[in-house]
Chain A
Amino acid sequence: METLTEINWILACYTDDVPENGGACIKHGDEQIAIYNFTRRQEWYATQNLCPHKQQMALSRGMIGSSGEHCEPKVACPFHKKTFSLLTGECLSDDDDCQIKTYPIRVDAGKVFIGITC
Chain B
Amino acid sequence: MRPRASELARERALAVLTREAAEVPVPELDWARIEEKVLAVRTSAALSQISAVPRRSGVRWVPSPATWASSPWPIAIAAAAAAALVFGGSSGAMRTPTQSNEPRAAVAQPRFPVANLSALDVGEVAETDVRGAVYDRPGVVRFALAPNSRIEVVANDIEEDRRGGITVALSRGSIHADVTPRAEGEIFAIEVEHTRIAVHGTSFTVSRDGDRVTVDVAHGSVAVGPVGHRGSTHGWLVVGPDRASFSLDGARRATWLVAPPDTAIATVEPVVETPAAAVADARASHTKRAASQLTATTSPRVDLSAAASKGDVNAASGAAPKGTAWGEGSTAVGRNASEQEAHAVAGILRQLETCYEKQASAFGVRFTVESSLALTLLPSGAIREGVFTPPLSPTLMSCADKAIGAAHFSASDAPRLIRIPVQLSRAAR
A and B form one complex: no
Chain A residues close to B by CB (< 8 Å): none
Chain B residues close to A by CB (< 8 Å): none
